[in-house]
Amino acid sequence: MASNGSLDSAIPEGPLSEKWTSYKANAKLINPANKRKYSIIVVGSGLAGGSAAATLSELGYKVKCFCYQDSPRRAHSIAAQGGINAAKNYQNDGDSVWRLFYDTIKGGDFRSREANVHRLAEVSVNIIDQCVAQGVPFAREYGGLLDNRSFGGAQVSRTFYARGQTGQQLLIGAYQALEKEIDKGGVEMFTRTEMLDLVTVDGHAKGIVTRDLKTGEVESHAADCVLLATGGYGNVFFLSTNAMGCNVMAAFRAHKRGAYMANPCFTQIHPTCIPVSGDYQSKLTLMSESLRNDGRIWVPKSAETAKKIREGQLAAKDVAEEDRDYYLERKYPSFGNLAPRDISSRSAKEVCDEGRGVATTGLGVFLDFSDAINRLGEDTIRARYGNLFQMYEKITGDNPYQTPMKIYPAVHYTMGGLWVDYNLQSNIDGLHVLGEANFSDHGANRLGASALMQGLADGYFVIPATLPNYLVKEKPGSVTTDAPEFAQAEKEAKERIEKLMSIQGTKSVDEFHRELGLLVWDKCGMSRTKEGLEEALKRIPEIRKEFWENVRIPGTAEGMNMELEKAGRVADFIDFAEVMCHDALDREESCGGHFRAEYQFTAEDEAVKTGHTGEGEAKRRDDEFCYVSAWEYTGPGEKPILHKEELNYEEVELSVRSYK
Amino acid sequence: MNLTLKVWRQAHENDTGRIETYEAKDIPESASFLEMLDIVNTGIINDGGEPIHFDHDCREGICGMCSLTINGVPHSREQGITTCQVHMRKFRDGDTIWIEPFRARAFPIVKDLVVDRGAFDRIIASGGHIGVRTGSAPDANSVPIPKDDADDSFDSAACIGCGACVAACKNASAMLFVGAKANHLNRLPQGKPEKDKRVLAMVHQMDAEGFGNCTNQYECEAVCPKEISADVIAKLNRDYAAAVVRDAVE
């Protein structure tokens, strides 16, 4: 594809609400007897990968599924607490497919693809049916029917939930479906196995190179197509709410082989996480957003009071009501504490930057339940959030029934990812990307309870319908690992491992990771500037240079070596961080999770004068930036080439997001 | 705080393994147990040694990956939490802490504190599921489920498959794990059609994997990070007996 040429998103013709129906009606089918001749590689076993592998096997394809954990049940989808959205309208409160679609587009700050999002809203209803049939124990009312709640600022109750373990229960559903297929022989499962490279033959994705994390063996696997469902890249920031093992390796390897990386600067900072307590900290813990339904967020009005709290001279409960600033309620009266994630996070940063933060590090705000406890009683609050309060107390040693929680934003989800078309196929033929690993549905900001929905939509319902479009053109089994491309990719993977092992420097992998994480958090985190990003782009090559000269990996490449695993992942994070900063630099606007300090509303703007939005709010520039940026890899340390997919909104009118 | 660690080191599955001693110095009280091990490992790496290998991933008590036996108790003496949720403020300066893997014949050691729990996956594969094809599900609200049944099922579904129950049991029995899965699915109307088949298959697989039998000591319940009640074992026995009888009669 020529540089700056337009990307073909393969959106079907016809009115928005009929695209998916007509797509399915006209989709290619593969004869049932022929399906078993096709083999499919699925990398990742979370909600997207697990559900795809299980469903494709049910349909008759031969599937090989890979995960780095010791069991497919452990993928990080499991950690999602809050819930899963679906346009069921069981509450009769005015929800519909259209409304879920519109909320998702608006929440994404008008940077997602209309057709994909509409399809997501359509299949959301099937997901709930499927999961219930599998035995997922969603919350129920006394009448025996499913319960819903409002989540993440939605005006309707469309979120299905399973206590604070929705992700876990959904993943167990997908995992059990996957195990069922493993038992039948339709899926061959490879646990503790990591993808090191993508193999393309004649421009088509036909296999992968892996490392067995137990034996250290590097192996090739060939198939008729490759599906990546490898999650997001939040761990580029070192500290995030992602699991320790989450990494960008598979996606970045595909990127190096030609797949475009789309919108990598769209990262989501979740507003309610437990603040950092020290430099030994290995990860951050999210407290479910549902807490914002009853908790009130505040900091003291004056920096002096905040200082006293930080130094332990003053307790939160001794701060008089008139000295408190419930800043979200003040700035966004109609949404209050439920303002969208990007807005809530940025507001927390603002008040902390003003010196009004309350955690020992100065980076924390109060989430206070005392009003809710007075109004509803401690028992009600315990019934709603008991497990979360307990988790908070375990980690911090504070009892949130008596003293307000302290929270601070943390990296939580990444909206960007590999570019895909409507078929979920990347710009490499045969390479399909599902779930958080792709970019398509959440635009610049993801709404709460939509990640689970997207992962399962892609795996259960979208890819089974779109994959035949590719496969039907392919002769099954035409490529085997005997193709010279496999030997070459294996050789390169082994050389990379040898290189890493041979450095024997003086700094541990974690030290490099932490250094990179601090840099990108500072320069490409909640607030970004041209200057800061340019500085980051100067620093990252220095980190890379030192890494490849001075990293210390003990042990050998044979057998289990967790330092070597981490080193390979951090090496890719370093390279990935560059693409992310290039993207953030190019996007000279603020939208969703991407806030460029140069582009915010001021008192001069019409929207501020009319009171539609306020000073300091993110300012989109639709005339120039209503596109998906898809970056093409050009070589180590080289600036990638930008390709643009213009976003055409047929049905939705672009507007200034207002949560006033 | 300063601590002495006695840690099980084993290079690979066939190595004999041994306890080695490490000093953990200047550990912050607010650190988690695994962060303490991170600090110790950084020291070992800087001294040119091989870091202690242990399984961990989400570090927030839900993925079930972490699996240390701390002072003889899987996931430590503290109730209702996983290893990653143990915090150093629960220990005292100068303590000696013994750290071992989850031991069981059915969980072979891979390296140091890392074990292979693939047996659990094979038990689930044998019957721990409901055979519903994607796309063939009826509307989610077409079958009301009494809240009590749903809650009972949910309590069992909370199992994270960590294996602490097996590690705590002197017989290395997996009855709590299998009982939890059986009760999760058997209590729901969706799970009824395959109930007998499920229970027979899972128990058969459990035996084949080399897990021991239950002798009603309830160590499993005491260490379960999700506090799953040993009642599920009684229910499993009942469901199993009924399935055997029906299987014989039909």
Question: pLDDT grade, residue A646 (50/70/90)?
Answer: very high
Q: What is the side-by-side order of every strand in the sheet holding A417-418? A: A417-418, A261-262, A627-632, A641-646
Choose from B34, B47, B129 for mutation: most chain A CBs within 10 A. B129
CATH numbers and ranges of domains, chain B: 3-111 (3.10.20.30), 118-249 (1.10.1060.10)
A496 in catalytic set: no
Percent of chain A past pLDDT 90, that is, above it, reads: 87
- Across residues A438-459, what is the average pLDDT? 96
Select from B126, B161, B184 the Cβ nearest to the Cβ of A71: B161
Question: Which contiguous run of DSSP H or E holds residue A456?
Answer: helix A451-456
Interface contact flag, B134 A176, Cβ < 8 Å: no
Which of the residues in chain B have pLDDT under 70? none
- pLDDT confidence tier of residue A4, bands split at 50, 70 and 90: very low
Q: Do B63 and A78 touch (CB under 8 A)?
A: yes
Phi, psi angles (nearest 5°) of residue B96: -105, 130
φ, ψ for residue B184 (rounded to 5)?
A: -55, -50
Are B67 and B61 a contacting pair, CB within 8 Å? no
pLDDT band at A303 (very low <50, low <70, confident <90, very high): very high
Averaged confidence pLDDT in chain A:
95
Instruction: Please name which of A261, A239, A9, A3 lies closest in space to residue A119, comparing C-alpha atoms.
Output: A9
Residues in A 118-137 with any Cβ partner in B closer than 8 A: 126, 128-135, 137
Question: A383 CB near a chain B CB, below 8 Å?
Answer: no
Pairing between strand A365-368 and A324-325?
unpaired
pLDDT at A2 over 50: no
B104 vs B177: CA distance, rounded Å: 14
Query: CB A281 to CB B63 under 8 A?
Result: no
Q: Which residues contact A592 (CB under 8 A, 6 or more apart)?
A: A108, A109, A111, A266, A342, A415, A443, A444, A445, A618
CB neighbourhood size of A498 (10 A): 10
Q: What angle do CA A485, A486, A492 make, to 5 degrees?
A: 90
pLDDT at residue A657, as a whole number: 75
Find the residue in B nearest to A177 (Cα).
B129
Closest by CA position to B36, among listed B50, B49, B25: B25
Q: Which pLDDT does position A477 carry in this prediction?
A: 96
Per-position DSSP letters for chain B, written without gaps between them:
--EEEEEEE-SSTTS--EEEEEEE-S--TTSBHHHHHHHHHHHHHHTT-PPPP---SSSSS-S----EEETTEET-SSTT--GGG-BGGGS-TT-EEEEEE---TTS-EEETTEE--HHHHHHHHHH-S----TT-PPPTTSS---HHHHHHHHHHHT-----HHHHH-TT-B-HHHHHHHHHHHHTSGGGGGGHHHHHHHHHHHHHHTT-B---S--HHHHH-TT---THHHHHHHHHHHHHHHHHHH-
Q: How far apart are CA A319 and CA A324, in angstroms?
A: 7
Domains of chain A, first to last = 270-410 (3.90.700.10), 484-646 (1.20.58.100)
- The residue-averaged pLDDT of A46-55 equals 98
Task: Give the pLDDT confidence score for residue B226 in this predicted structure.
Answer: 96
Considering only the beta carbons, identify the residue of A143, A146, A179 that sits closest to B121: A179
Each residue's pLDDT tens digit, A306-341: 999 999 999 999 999 999 999 999 999 888 998 888
At A408, list the tokens: 């601070």
Q: Is the pLDDT of residue A574 over 50?
A: yes
- Residues of chain A positioned with their CB less than 8 A from the CB of B132: 130, 133-134, 177
Residue window 413-472, chain A: list those with CB within 8 Å of chain B.
460-461, 464
pLDDT, position A6: 61
Contact B31 A141 (CB under 8 A): no
In the predicted structure, residue A1 carries a pLDDT above the cut 50: no
| Pairing of β A204-212 and β A193-201 | antiparallel
Tell me whether A510 touches chain B (CB under 8 Å): yes
Residues ≥6 apart with Cβ < 8 Å to A568: A194, A196, A249, A496, A497, A500
Strand partners, B32: B87
Cβ contact B112:A170 at 8 Å: no
Q: What is the DSSP string of A292-322?
A: GGT-EEEEESSHHHHHHHHTTSS-GGGS-GG
Dump pLDDT digits (tens) for A231-266. Answer: 999 999 999 999 999 999 999 999 999 999 999 999
Selection from B164, B55, B36, B154 nearest residue B104 by Cα: B164
Nearest CA in chain B to A185: B125
B-chain CB neighbours of A280 within 8 Å are 28, 31, 35, 38-39
Residues of chain A contacting residue B144, judged by C-beta atoms under 8 Å apart: 140, 143-145
Rounded distance between C-alpha atoms, residue B15 and residue A273, angstroms: 42
Q: Which residues of B touch A272 (CB under 8 A)?
A: none
Mean predicted confidence (pLDDT) in A1-27: 84
Cβ contact, residue pair B111, A145, below 8 Å: no
Residues facing residue A433 across a β-bridge: A228
**Pairwise CB contact (< 8 Å): A143 & B11:** no
SS3 state of residue A187:
strand
Q: Please determine, for residue A385, whether its predicted confidence score (pLDDT) is greater than 90.
A: no
